[in-house]
Structure 1
Amino acid sequence: MSRPYVTAIVVAHDGARWLGETLRALAGQSRRPDRVAGVDNGSRDGSAGLLAQMFGNANVISLPRSAGFGESVAEALAKLPPGRDEWIWLLHDDCAPDRHALEALLHAAEQDQKAAVLGPKLLDWIDRRRLLEVGVTVGRTGRRDTGLEPREFDQGQHDGTREVLSVSTAGMLIRRDVWERAGGLDPFFPLFRDDLDLCWRVRNAGHRVLNVTSAVAWHAEAASRRRRRIAVSGDHPRRLDRRNAIFVVMANLPFGAMLWALLRNVLGSAFRTLLFIVSKQPANALDEVVAMGSILAHPFRLMKARRARRHGRKKGYIRIKRLMTSRWAAYRRLTDMVQSLIAGEAPVDSTGRHHHATTPASPEDEFAAVPHDSGAVKRFITRPGVVLMLALAVVSLIAERSLLGGERLGGGALVPVTGGAADLWAFYTEGSHDLGLGSAAWAPPYVAVLAALSTLTLGKTWLAVSALLLGSVPLAGATAYLATRHVIPAVPARAWAAGTYALLPVATGAIASGRLGTAVVFVLVPLYASLGTTLLSAERRRARRAAWGLGLALAVGTAFVPLVYPLFAVLGVLGAVAFGGGRRGVATSMAVALVVPVALLFPWLAGLVTDPGRILLEAGLHDPALVDPALPAESLLALSPGGPGLPPFWVSAGLVAAALAALLMRRQRMIVAIGWGVALYGVLAAIVVSRISVEGARAWPGVPLAFAGTGLLVLVGLTAHRLTELRAGGGLRRVGATLVAAVAFSTPLLAAGHWMVNGVRGPLVGDAPDVLPMLAAARTANGERTLVLKGSAFTVLHGRMPLIGESELPVASEARTRVATAAQGLVGGRGGDAATLAQHGIAMIAVAPPFTAELTKTLDSQPSLQRLSLSEFGGLWRLAEPVTRVPAQPESVLHLPWLWAQGALVLLVALLAAPGRRESAGESVEAPAAALAGA
C-alpha cells in the first residue's frame, strides 16, 4: 500500500489548561501527521497563541465562539486540498494521544480495508487508569452506553480491535473521501452526539467503524463535565446532550422502529422527570422536559433530517441493530438510575455520564448496581453483602420448604391470604364495611401498605405477603448489612452482625406463628437505627432529611405493630438529649420524626387512644395459643420471645456470651454502655409486655427483643477489632479471645442449621383451609351472613373469606354481645335465640374443625336449625328462622377527605425524605457510636 496521508486537525475553545499537553503529545507521535491545522473558536485564555506557536499562524484559523466542532473541522478542510489516500485525524484540545496512537490506528486501518472510521481507547485525563470509552453504542431511547462499569480501571480486559457503533471525535481517524461523501459532522449538532450521527451514516454507507485499544488517548471531557463554559449553544450541556441523543436516534432509525422509539422516549422521559423531581433535582427535570419538548415541537426539522439520511438506512439498520444496546440492558440501566437516586448519588442518566464527580463506595461495601458483563457478574455476586443475602435466601427456602407451593398461606396470627390488590384498596377506602356485623371504623393502615405492595406485584396479595413474611430473614439481613455501613467499619464484622440479626429467634418465631407485623418491623429496625444515628450526627440538612425518612419508616412499622412507636420514642428522646446537646436542630429533627407517624396515622391512632390495650397487639389474629403464658427468664436472656417455632436456648447463647465478654474491655466503655443500655431496655420492655393480657391473649414480646438484639449486635460488631488485638497479645488473652470469637461465630451457623433441619414448626401452613364453607358462600345472598363457630370463639362472615385486616375492625359492643349470647345458647344446648341471629342478618351456622360429636348432636337437636352438610372438614346448618332484615351499615364521618389528605401527606413526606445530591466528602456521615469508636 502507498503510505497514507494524514491531516491532523486540533480544535480549541478556552482549553489552554489542557492544550499544551495535547500539542506536545501530537508532536511526539512515533508516526507524525503529514500536515496539521488548528482552529480556535474565540478562546479567551491564550489557546490561539499556543496553536500559532506550534503550527504557525498560517495553519491556524480563528472562528467565533459560537462555532461548533463540526463547523470548525469543515472550515479547516475547506482550506486544505485533499491528498491521495488521505486520512483526517481529529483531536480535541483536551485529548492527549499516546506516543504510538496514530501509528496503531493506521496499522488497524491497513488490516481492515472496510474500516473508514477508527477511534482509540480513551482514558481519564486525571485518573489515568480509569476507562472512559472503548467504543460507544446507544439504545432506542438515545441512552449512551460505553459498556463499562462506573470508574472501571483499565487492566487490559477490553483490549483488542473490535467493530463498534460509534467512536468519539476525540482522536477519531476517518478517511477524507468517506467524510466528504457522508457530509461530515452535521452542523445541527454543535456539540455532543455529532460523532454518533456521523458513524451511523458511515455505517449505513457500508463502511466499518472500529475501536483500536492499542491506540490510547487521555480525555478530560471538559465540556460534558462542565469544566469550562460552553458558548456554542444557549442550551444547558445536559439539555443539549439529551436533545441531540433523541434526535440522532429518531433521524437514523427506520420508520417503524422510529415510531416505537418515539413512544418509549416520551414515556421514559416522563418517568425520568419524575425521578429527578423526587430526588430534588429540578434543574435536571427541566432539562429532560425541555429536551423532549424541543423534539416534539419541531417535527419538520426531524423530517428534513430523516430525508437526508434515507439512503442505506433500512439496509444499514440490519447491521447496526446487533451493535445497539439491547432492550434488557436499557431496562437494566434505568434500574441503575433509580438505585443511584435512592442512594443520593449523581445519576448516570441518558447522557451516560455522572453529572458530578463522586467518590465511589468500596465495591465490597454495598449491594452494587446491576453488572454489565460476565466479569462484573462474578464480582457482583462475590461481594459480601450479596453473598450474605443469597445465603440467607437459601437458608430460608430450605427451612420454609413445607410452606412453598401451597394454595393459600395462613394460620396462626395470619388470616389466610385471599383477594387481590383491588380488594385491599376497596377495603381501605370504604367508609363503611359490610362485613361481620358491620363497622364504620377506619381500616388498619397497614392494609394500605399491603395494597401498595400488592399493586407492585401485579395485584397478587399472596406474593406480597409471602415476600414480607417468608422473605423477612434475607430482607432483614440486607437492611442490617446496609444500615451498619457507617457504624461497623469492618466488613466481616458487618456480615456477621447482619447474619446473626436476621436469624434471631424473633424472626423464626414470627414466621412460624404467621406474625406479619413483627416480620415487617424486624426488617425495619436496622433502618430505624441507621436513620436515627444519621439524625443525631449528620449536618443539619442531611439530618432533617433523615428525620423525614425515619418518620415515614416509623409510620409503616407503627401501622403493623403500634408498640414500635413508644419503644422508639423513648430511645429517640434519650438519644437527642445525650448526643444532640452540642448540635443545632437535633431536637427539631427528632420532633419531626416523631410527629410524622402521628400525622399520617391520626384517625386510626385516635382509636388506639380510646382503647390503649390495643397498642400491645399487632397486625393479625390474637390467638392465646401463640404466646407462652409464663415466659421463662432464660428465654428472654436468649432473646427468645416464646411461642412456636423457636430454637433452643443454646442456639443464641453465643451472642449473649460475646456481649458479656465486651464488658471486660477497658477501652470503648461508652460503646459497651450504649449497647448494653439498648439491650436491657429492650429486655425490660419485653418482660413488661409479656405480662400483660389484651383481649384474652398475652402480648408477644418479639418487637422489644428485636430492639434488644440490635443493641447487642452493634456492641459486638464495634468491639470485634479488640478481639484481634487480644489474640495478638498471646497467653490467656489469646485463648480467651479465640474462644469468644468462636462462640460468637457459631451463633448464626447454629441458628441457620437448626432452622434448616427442623423447618418451620408452627401453625403457619401453605394450604390453609377455607374458613367459610363453599356451600355457605353459595347459599347466602342479599347480604345474608354466616356465623362461624370454632370452640368458644366465633366470627361473622358475609359470603366470602375475610381479607387481611377485616378481622381487626371493631364492631358495636351491643350487637356483638347479643350475637355472642345467642351463639353460646346454640353451643350450650340452651335453645339459642334464633330470632336475635336473624335480626343481625345471620342465615347460616358453620362449625370449623376440630369439633366433637356432642356439638353435632346439640346443634341437630335445635328446632331452629336445619343441617345442610357434615364432614371432617366442618358442618353447616341453616336457620329455620327467616332473616327479618339485614342491618344497615353505619355511616362514616369525613372518610374520603382524610384519605386524600393522607395521600398528599405521604407524598409530601416521601419527597422531603428523598435523597438529594450526595453531600461533599467533608460532611460527617458517621453515627455517634462510630464517632465514639474513633475517639
Structure 2
Amino acid sequence: MSRPYVTAIVVAHDGARWLGETLRALVNQSRRPDRVAGVDNGSRDGSADLLAQAFGRGNLISLPRSTGFGESVAEVLAKLPPAGSDEWIWLLHDDCAPDRRALEALLTAAAQDPKAAVLGPKLLDWLDRRRLLEVGVTVGRTGRRETGLEPREFDQGQHDGTHDVLSVSTAGMLIRRDVWEQVGGLDPFFPLFRDDLDLCWRVRNAGHKVLNVTFAVAWHAEAAARRRRRITVSGDHPRRLDRRNAIFVVMANLPFGAMLWTLLRNVLGSAFRTALFVVSKQPANALDEMVAMASVLLHPFRLLRARRARRHGRKKGYIRIKRLMTPRGAAWRRLTDMVQSFLAGEAPVDSTGRHHHATPSTEDEYEVVPADTGAVKRFLSRPGAVLMLALTAVALVAERSLLGGERLGGGALVPVTGGAGDLWAFYTEGFHDIGLGSNAWAPPYVAVLAALSTLAFGKTWLAVSVLLLGSVPLAGTTAYLATRHVIPAVPARAWAAGTYALLPVATGAVAAGRLGTAVVFVLVPLYASLGTVLLSGERRRARRAAWALGLLLAVGTAFAPLVYPLFTVLGVLAAVAFRGVVTSMAISLAVPLVLLFPWLAGLATSPGRILLEAGLHDPALVDAALAPESLLALSPGGPGLPPFWVTAGLVAAALAALLMRRRRMIVAVGWGITLYGMLAAILVSRVTVEGARAWPGVPLAFAGTGLVVLVGLTAHRLAELRAGGGLRWLGAMAVAAVAFSTPLLAAGYWVATGVRGPLVGDAPDVLPVLAAARTTHGERTLVIKGSSFTVLHGRTPLIGESELPIASEARTRLGTAVEGLVGGRGGDAATLGRLGVGMVAVAPPVSAELARTLDSQPSLARMSLSEAGGLWRLAEPVVRVPAQPVSALHTPWLWTQAALVLVIAVLAAPGRRESGPETVETPPAAAARVAVKVAGGR
C-alpha cells in the first residue's frame, strides 16, 4: 500500500502559552508528517519565535493580525505545490495538542474508508483532560451547535468508535488536498467560528464522507471561544460572531424551500430569545442576538452570492445530511427548557451551543465565568456603559414629574394618543378627515414614529417617551460612540459625551416637548462621525458612510427641516476642500431629497416652514429676543433652561484652547463650526413664521458639537502642561476644573429643579369625553382655548395631524365665524354648520362672560358646563363633509418610498472589514490632517 503524504499546518495568533505543548506533541507523533509549515498572524507574545525554532524560518509565514484561519491556510497552500494524488492536510490550532498516535489513527481510519475525505479527532478539554468537548458536531435549523454531550461529561469510552458526522473541528482536522481544492477550502467570510461546519457541509454535498475518529485524541483549549485571548480578526464580540456565522451557514447551505422556513424560524426565535434575555437581565446576550440576526438580514446580496456558490449538489447532499442534523423536536424542547429556566429564576443560556464551564488550574489562565455574570461585569466595566447608566439615572430623577402619567403632552408636543396602526393609517391615507380636512402629504416623521411604535409593540407613547425623555442618555451614547475614532483618550470621550448630552438644547427640548429637536440632537454626533468617514479618503468605507449619512439626514430633516440646509452648507464646503468626496457628499445630500420629495415640494410653497420643527408652534415657547449671553452659553431660550453659569465652563475651556500653539487648525475648525451654528441661531431666532418665532435649538446643537469636540481634541495638551510644572500646572488644573464643571453643574441643576416647562406627564384630553361620545359620523367639534381654536373630528388628534396645512379660504371663513361667535354676533353658528362643525367646546377655565355669550346664541344649546370646561351643540343642521378622492400619486409613491428606504439601508449597512496589513492612524493625527485640508493647506 502506498504511503499517504501529510502536510501539517500550524496557525498561531497570540498563543504562546499553549503553542509550546502543541509543537512538542507534533514532533513526537508516532507517524510524523512529511511536510510542516507554520503561520503567525501578527502575534505579540513570541509565538512566531516558537514556530521558527520548531520549523525553521523558511517554513514560517507571517501575516497581519486581521487574517482569519481559512485565509492563513490558503496562503500556505498557495506556496506549497501538491505532493501527489494522495496528499492530506493536517490542520492544527496553536491551542490544540494531539495525542502521540493521533495522526496514525486518523490515517488508519482514512485507509479503511475510501469515501472519507475529512476526519477529526476526539477533542478533550485542555485543563480538565478527562472532560469531553467534541466527538463530532451537528447543527439545528436555527443554527444552534450540538455536540451530543452533556455539560462536563467525562470520557469513559462511551462514545468510542468511528462515526459518520456532519462536521468536525478544524482543530486537528485531516482533509484530502484534492477535496480541499475541489470545494474551495475554508470560506474567508468566516474568519472564526463555524468555518469548519461550512467546509464539512460542502464536502458532504460533493459526495464525500466526514468521520470522527475517537481513537485519535487531541486536547483543545478553545481560547477564542472562551475569551482567553483577544480576537483581532473581527470587530464583533465572539458570541455575536458565532451566532451570525451559525445563521449564515445554515441559510447558505439549505435548499430554497427549507431556507425560507428556516429564515422565519430564526427571525421569530431570535425575537423571543432577545426578549427572554432582556427580562432575565442579560443585556449583552440580547444585544448579540439582535445584532447577529440583523447582520444577516441587512445583507441579502451577500447571502445570495453564498447560496449561488454552493448550489452544486446542495439538494442531493441535503437528503444525506438531513439525518445528521438535530431532530426537529429538539429545538422546541430547548425552547421549553429556556422558558422553564426563566420561570425557575435561572438565567437562560445563550444560543451558541458552547459550554463555558472550565475553571482555571493555574494562575496564568483567565477565569471563565458563566455567561450572565460575565456579560454584566463586562458591560459595567466599560466607560461608555457607565456613562449611559449615569445619564439615564440623571434623566429619570430630573423627569420625575413626567413619569407615571396617563398621557405625555404639553408645549410643542400634542398629547400622545393612538397606536402604531393609527399612525400608519394617518401616514398612508390620501385624504385626512381631520379638522377641516386636508389632502396634503402627512409629515414624514410620522412614518418614523410609526415604525418605532411598531417595534415598541404598537405603543406610540413608549416610542415618544424614549425619543423625548430619553434624548439625554441617547445623545450621550451616540456622542461617545461617534468620537471613538476622533478623541483618543477615554476620559476625554466620556467628558465630551456627557457635556454634549446635558447642553441646554437638550434640557430645553424636553421641557418644551420639542420632539424634533430631541431627535436631531441625538443624530448630530452621528452626522459628524459619518462625515469624518467621508473625508477619510477610503472609497469603499466612504461610499457606505454616504448612504448611511443620507438615510440619517433624511430622518433628521423629517423631524426638523432646518437640518438639511445647515448640513448642506457644511457639505458643499467639504466637497470644495476635498474634491475626492464630491460623489459621496452628493449621495448624502440627494438621499433626503428623494425620500422626502413630495413633502419637501410642499415646503417649497412656504419656505418659512423650513424653520419649524415637528409639533405645535406656540409663541409662548420662544423668547422674544435672545440675549448675547444666552447664545454664548448655547441656550436657545424658552422654558426649562439653566442659567448662564452652568455652561460657562465649556466656553471658558474652548477660549483657553485659543492660547495653545499646537493644534491650531483643529481649534480653527472647531470654532468655525461653533460660530457658524451661532450665526444661524441668530438668524433663525429673528424670523417669525405663522405667528411664532422659530426656535434656534437645532443650529445651537451644531454649535455645541463644535465646542465639545474642540475641547475634547485638545484635552491631551492639559496633561503635557501639567507635566511641565509651575504656572503651567496651575493653569492646566484650572482649565480642567472649569471644563469638568459643565456636565456636573448641568446634571446637578437639572436634577435639583426638575423639568420646568409646559410638558406634563398627565396632559388633559383636548376633546371632551361627552363630545367624543355624542359626535356622529361626519361632524366636527370646535375647541376654543383662550385666544386660539382648533377643529377636531371625533377624537383627540394624533401626532402630526395638527401640522397639516388647511386651505386658506376655509381657514378664513372659520376664523371669522369663531370671532363672531365669541363676540355675540348672530348668524355665525350657521357658518360653522356649513363647515361640518356640530359642537363647540371651551377648554377650562370658562369665563362667565363667554358662557353667557354662547348661551345667548339661539343656534347653540348647552350640554354641559363645569370646571372641566363647557360644551354646546349646534341646533342648525350640520353638513356632512364627503371624503375626498385619493391622489393617484399617493399610494404608488409610498411603496416606492418603502423600497428606497430598504435599498439605502442595505447599501449603508457595514460589511465585513477587509483583511490585510493594518494601517492605523492615530485620531489626533487624522483630525489634524482633516483640519489642514479644510484650511486649504497641503
CA separation of 1:246 and 1:264: change in aligned 2, threshold 3 A: farther
Percent of aligned pairs sharing the same letter: 64
CA separation of 1:655 and 1:217: change in aligned 2, threshold 3 A: closer
1:323-334 paired onto structure 2 within 5 Å: none
Matched residue, 1:433: 432
Residue deviations 1:509-543 (CA, integer Å, cap 9, x gap): 00000000000000001111111121122312211
CA separation of 1:139 and 1:661: change in aligned 2, threshold 3 A: farther
Matched residue, 1:760: 755
Matched residue, 2:573: 574
Question: Are 1:929 and 2:927 counterparts?
Answer: yes
Matched residue, 2:690: 695
CA separation of 1:286 and 1:925: change in aligned 2, threshold 3 A: farther
Shift of 1:611: 0.3
SS of structure 2 residue aligned to 1:802: coil
Residue deviations 1:162-188 (CA, integer Å, cap 9, x gap): 974789xxxxx884x8523x7476799
Question: Are 1:675 and 2:673 counterparts?
Answer: no
Separation (CA, whole Å) in 2 of partners of 1:217 and 1:815: 70
Partner AA of 1:863 in structure 2? P
Separation (CA, whole Å) in 2 of partners of 1:534 and 1:76: 55
1:637-648 paired onto structure 2 within 5 Å: 637-648=632-643
Matched residue, 1:540: 539
Separation (CA, whole Å) in 2 of partners of 1:196 and 1:669: 58
Separation (CA, whole Å) in 1 of partners of 2:106 and 2:19: 21
1:414-429 paired onto structure 2 within 5 Å: 414-429=413-428
Which of 664-673 and 21-30 deviates more? Answer: 21-30
Matched residue, 2:829: 834
Partner AA of 1:568 in structure 2? F
Matched residue, 1:442: 441
TM-score, normalised via structure 1 length: 0.72
Shift of 1:351: 11
Separation (CA, whole Å) in 1 of partners of 2:661 and 2:418: 58
Partner AA of 2:144 in structure 1? R
1:807-822 paired onto structure 2 within 5 Å: 807-822=802-817
Separation (CA, whole Å) in 1 of partners of 2:224 and 2:692: 74
CA contact 1:641–1:700 (8 Å) conserved in 2: yes
CA separation of 1:108 and 1:244: change in aligned 2, threshold 3 A: farther
CA contact 1:549–1:914 (8 Å) conserved in 2: yes
For structure 2, the 5+ residue unaligned runs are 40-54, 56-82, 92-101, 113-118, 176-195, 202-213, 227-231, 234-244, 255-260, 272-289, 356-368, 933-937
Separation (CA, whole Å) in 2 of partners of 1:833 and 1:23: 93
Partner AA of 2:710 in structure 1? L
SS of structure 2 residue aligned to 1:179: coil
Residue deviations 1:224-273 (CA, integer Å, cap 9, x gap): x99xxxxxxxxxxx8999469999xxxxxxxxxxxx99973697799999
Partner AA of 2:373 in structure 1? S
SS of structure 2 residue aligned to 1:794: strand
Matched residue, 2:892: 897
Matched residue, 1:851: 846
Separation (CA, whole Å) in 1 of partners of 2:263 and 2:843: 59
Separation (CA, whole Å) in 2 of partners of 1:533 and 1:564: 18
CA separation of 1:929 and 1:424: change in aligned 2, threshold 3 A: same
Matched residue, 2:108: 76
Separation (CA, whole Å) in 1 of partners of 2:407 and 2:470: 16
Separation (CA, whole Å) in 2 of partners of 1:66 and 1:79: 12
CA separation of 1:474 and 1:577: change in aligned 2, threshold 3 A: same
1:212-611 paired onto structure 2 within 5 Å: 242=249, 264=265, 275=294, 280=299, 282-287=301-306, 301=320, 372-578=371-577, 580=578, 584=580, 586-611=581-606
Question: Which of residues 868, 874, 881 in structure 2 aligns to 1:879?
Answer: 874
Question: Which of residues 640, 652, 655 in structure 2 aligns to 1:657?
Answer: 652
Partner AA of 1:855 in structure 2? L
Shift of 1:592: 1.5
Separation (CA, whole Å) in 2 of partners of 1:720 and 1:217: 36
SS of structure 2 residue aligned to 1:567: helix
Matched residue, 2:621: 626
CA contact 2:403–2:761 (8 Å) conserved in 1: yes
CA separation of 1:388 and 1:269: change in aligned 2, threshold 3 A: closer
Separation (CA, whole Å) in 2 of partners of 1:816 and 1:214: 76
Matched residue, 1:342: none
CA contact 1:513–1:644 (8 Å) conserved in 2: yes
Shift of 1:666: 1.4
Separation (CA, whole Å) in 2 of partners of 1:666 and 1:467: 43
Separation (CA, whole Å) in 2 of partners of 1:72 and 1:401: 71
Separation (CA, whole Å) in 1 of partners of 2:705 and 2:316: 56
Residue deviations 1:76-105 (CA, integer Å, cap 9, x gap): 15989xxxxxxxxx987xx9x9xxx99x89
Separation (CA, whole Å) in 2 of partners of 1:611 and 1:41: 78
CA contact 1:424–1:451 (8 Å) conserved in 2: yes
Separation (CA, whole Å) in 2 of partners of 1:563 and 1:640: 18
Matched residue, 1:179: 160
Matched residue, 2:181: none
SS of structure 2 residue aligned to 1:856: helix
CA contact 2:138–2:166 (8 Å) conserved in 1: no
1:734-745 paired onto structure 2 within 5 Å: 734-745=729-740
Separation (CA, whole Å) in 2 of partners of 1:414 and 1:608: 21
CA separation of 1:11 and 1:856: change in aligned 2, threshold 3 A: farther
Separation (CA, whole Å) in 1 of partners of 2:740 and 2:433: 54
Separation (CA, whole Å) in 1 of partners of 2:36 and 2:817: 96
Separation (CA, whole Å) in 2 of partners of 1:392 and 1:735: 30
CA contact 2:508–2:641 (8 Å) conserved in 1: yes
SS of structure 1 residue aligned to 2:870: strand
Which of 913-922 and 925-934 deviates more? Answer: 925-934
Matched residue, 2:767: 772
CA contact 1:478–1:498 (8 Å) conserved in 2: yes
CA contact 1:381–1:387 (8 Å) conserved in 2: yes
SS of structure 1 residue aligned to 2:861: strand
CA contact 1:276–1:285 (8 Å) conserved in 2: no
Matched residue, 2:725: 730
Q: CA RMSD in A?
A: 5.1
Shift of 1:32: 7.7
CA contact 1:411–1:514 (8 Å) conserved in 2: yes
For structure 1, the 5+ residue unaligned runs are 1-9, 51-60, 81-89, 110-114, 121-134, 147-161, 168-172, 198-206, 220-224, 227-237, 248-259, 335-349, 353-369
Question: Are 1:789 and 2:790 counterparts?
Answer: no
CA contact 1:497–1:714 (8 Å) conserved in 2: yes
**Greater Rg by CA:** 1
Residue deviations 1:119-172 (CA, integer Å, cap 9, x gap): 89xxxxxxxxxxxxxx999777343499xxxxxxxxxxxxxxx974789xxxxx
Which of 294-303 and 480-489 deviates more? Answer: 294-303
Separation (CA, whole Å) in 1 of partners of 2:877 and 2:393: 56
SS of structure 2 residue aligned to 1:537: coil
Shift of 1:413: 0.2
CA contact 1:163–1:210 (8 Å) conserved in 2: no
Separation (CA, whole Å) in 2 of partners of 1:216 and 1:685: 55
Shift of 1:292: 11
Separation (CA, whole Å) in 1 of partners of 2:247 and 2:683: 64
Which of 658-667 and 850-859 deviates more? Answer: 850-859
TM-score, normalised via structure 2 length: 0.72
Partner AA of 2:929 in structure 1? A
Matched residue, 2:710: 715
CA contact 1:635–1:649 (8 Å) conserved in 2: yes
CA separation of 1:899 and 1:279: change in aligned 2, threshold 3 A: closer
Separation (CA, whole Å) in 2 of partners of 1:751 and 1:62: 74
Separation (CA, whole Å) in 1 of partners of 2:863 and 2:816: 23
Matched residue, 1:141: 142
